Amino acid sequence: MRRMIMMFNLVALALTSSVIAEQERDLWYAISIAGARSGWLHETRSQVPEGWQTKQESKIEIRRGAQSVAMEVTSRFVEDANGKPIRAESIQKLAGTAITTTWTFLGNGVIQEVSSQLGRTNKREIPPSNQDWLSPVAAERFFLARAASGAKTIRWSTVLPDQGPEPVELTRTLVDETTFDRGGRAIPATRWKSTTSAMPGSVGEDLVATDGVLLRQVNMLPFGEMRVELTDEATARMASENVPELLVSLFVKLQKPIPNARTSRTLEMRVRAKDGVLEDLPSAGAQRSERVGEGEILIKVDLDQPVPATDAERSDPRYRSPSALADAADETVSKLTTQALRGLESAPTRHQAERLRSAVAMHISNKGLSTGFASATETAKSKAGDCSEHAVLLVAMLRSAGIPARGATGLVYVEGYQGAPHAFGWHMWSQALVDGVWIDLDATLPRAYDAAHLLTATTPLDGATMDRDIAGLLQLMGDLDITIREEGS
C-alpha cells in the first residue's frame, strides 16, 4: 500500500539536529515507536581538516502486515571552524540500492547538488535561500549561548541533508530542570518543549544535559509515542521481537462499505480529526476541499471536474525534470516509455498518460510489500514494488514522454486487504498535468482512477523536498474519521 517510512526517520533526525557541545562525540540512541523497539541512531562529531564533521547513521524497521521493511540513512555535514557550510552528503537506502546526494556549498549561497543511483547521475544548482540558517556546530554554539544567557525560548534554523535544502526552523521552550537516569546515575538535565517546521503541529519533549547532549526525545504522534533515547551501542542495536505494525493498524475503518468504489466517478465525504485539529487538505486533481470546522473538512471528488493547475504549478520545472527518485532520463525508463507509446505518438496527451499508466501496471509483475521505497530506475529493472513504486515509475515515464507529473499521497478505499474490513488505507499514486489540469492516475488499479481516494499531499519527487511535502501524513495517521455522504458511478 504505502511506504512513507522515511517520515519516521524525519522525526528522529529533524529534532535531534542536536545541540552537542563543540567537542568530539560518539553517541548511540535507541528508537521506539508506540512502545516497540524500531531502530537506532548513531551520531558522531569529529574534527576534520576543514573544521568539523557531523555524521548521523540510522536504521528504522517497521512491519506492514506480516512483512518487515527497513530503511537506512546516513548523512554527513562538514563546516569550517566559523560555521561556514562546505559540503554535505545523504545516503538513503530505502529499497535495494542506495541513493546518494551530495551538496557543495558555493560562496554565493548556491548549492551544487549531485544525486546518483545505479550509475546514473543528476546534477542541478539550487538557488540561495532567502532565510538565514546555521550549520550544525554553529547552531549548537547558538543554542548553548542562548541557554547560558537564561533564554526560555530558543529558535534557530538549519539545513538537514535528509530533508532538502530549504531551512528547517527548530524551537525549544524551557519547561523545567530534571535528571536523566543512565545506568543508575542521575544526570542533571533541562526539559524543553520542542517543535520543528518540518513537522507542523507536532510537539515533542527534549531532555538535554547541561553540556548540551541530547539525552531523550519524545514525540507524540496520533498512533503512539516515538522515543529516541541515549544508550550504549549494544542496547541501541539490540534486535526487537516486536517491530511495530504500521499498515493495517492505521487503516481508517468505515461504518459501511462503498458498494461501487472501483467504478465511482464522484464521492462526497466528511473528514474529521479525532483530536479536533485538522490542517487544510489540498484541492487538486479530482478533489475539492472545503473546511466546515476547525477539525472537519468536506471532501468532494469528481473525476469529470478536475481542479485547474495554478500558474506556478504549470511553470514549475520540478514536474518536468529528472531526479534521482524519478529519473526520466534513465535509459531503461526511456525505453519503457517509447515501447508503451508506440503507435500513439500523435494521440491526445490524456490517452498517452493513460497508456503509460497501464504500461506501469503490467511492467511491475512482482507486486508486494517487501520493497522499501525504490526509485523509478530500480523499479524499471526489478519489476517489483507496491503503490509507491508504481507511482514513482509512472511519474518518471510521464516526464520522459514530455508530460509534467508529480506524486500524490493519501488514502484509497480497500476491502478485505490484509484481512481488514472496509476501510481507507494509506496510499500513493500519480498526477499528470494535461490541458492545464492535474489528472489522477493510479497504476495499482484496473481502471485509471476512481473517486474512492482522499488526497492529503502532492510531491515533485525531487528528493529535496519530498520528506517535507508528505510529513503531514504523520499527523493524520491514527487521527482520522471518514464518513461517506454520497457516492456516484
Residue 184: in which H helix or E strand, if any? none
- Rounded CA separation 215/13 (Å): 14
Predicted local confidence at residue 340, as pLDDT: 96
Angle at 28 between CA 27 and CA 32, to 5 degrees: 140
What is the per-residue DSSP string for 41-100?
EEEEEEEETTEEEEEEEEEEEEEETTEEEEEEEEEEEEEETT--EEEEEEEEESSSS-EE
Name the maximum alpha-carbon separation found in the chain.
Answer: 74
Buried b (16+ CB within 10 A) or exposed e, 233-254: eeebeeeeeebbbbbbbbbbeb
- Rounded CA separation 143/127 (Å): 27
Buried b (16+ CB within 10 A) or exposed e, 211-223: ebbbbbbbbebbb
Angle at 458 between CA 308 and CA 324, to 5 degrees: 120
Three-class DSSP category at 109 = coil
CB 101 within 8 A of CB 115: yes
Sign of CA dihedral 421, 425, 431, 436: positive
Residue 195: in which H helix or E strand, if any? strand 185-196
Residue 380 burial (CB < 10 Å; 0-12/13-18/19+)?
A: buried
The CATH class for the domain spanning 6-236 reads mainly beta
Predicted local confidence at residue 372, as pLDDT: 59
Q: Of 219, 189, 179, 227, whose CA–CA distance to 36 is shortest?
A: 227
Q: What long-range pairs does 274-281 form, CB within 8 A, spacing at least 24?
A: 274/222, 274/479, 274/480, 274/481, 275/222, 275/479, 277/201, 279/200, 279/201, 279/472, 279/475, 281/454, 281/455, 281/456
CB 184 within 8 A of CB 168: no
Q: Which residues on adjacent β-strands are paired with residue 31?
A: 39, 228
CB 40 within 8 A of CB 229: no
C-alpha cell at 19: 545541540
Which amino acid, residue 209? A
0.85 surpassed by pTM: no
Predicted local confidence at residue 65, as pLDDT: 66
Three-class DSSP category at 350 = helix
Q: Where are the domains of the chain?
A: 6-236, 251-488
- Rounded CA separation 111/243 (Å): 38
Predicted local confidence at residue 481, as pLDDT: 92
Predicted local confidence at residue 7, as pLDDT: 46
The CATH number that domain 251-488 falls under is: 3.10.620.30
One fold for both 6-236 and 251-488? no
Which amino acid, residue 371? T
Three-class DSSP category at 412 = strand
Sign of CA dihedral 460, 276, 167, 58: negative
Predicted local confidence at residue 482, as pLDDT: 94
Predicted local confidence at residue 66, as pLDDT: 64
**Torsions phi, psi of 8, nearest 5?**
-70, -35
Residues 6+ apart with CB under 8 A from 231: 28, 29, 30
The pLDDT profile of the chain, 489 residues, written as one tens digit per residue, is: 333 344 444 444 444 444 444 688 999 999 998 888 889 999 999 999 999 999 999 998 877 666 677 788 899 999 999 999 999 999 887 656 778 889 999 988 899 999 887 777 888 888 888 899 999 999 989 999 999 999 999 999 998 877 778 898 999 999 999 999 988 899 999 999 999 887 777 789 999 998 888 999 998 876 778 899 999 999 999 877 777 777 777 889 998 999 999 999 999 999 998 888 888 899 999 999 999 988 899 999 999 999 999 999 999 999 999 988 899 999 999 999 999 999 999 999 999 999 999 999 999 987 666 555 788 998 999 898 889 899 999 999 999 999 999 999 999 999 877 666 899 998 999 999 999 999 999 999 999 999 999 999 999 988 655 555 566 666 677 789 999 987 665
DSSP 465: S
Residue 162: in which H helix or E strand, if any? none
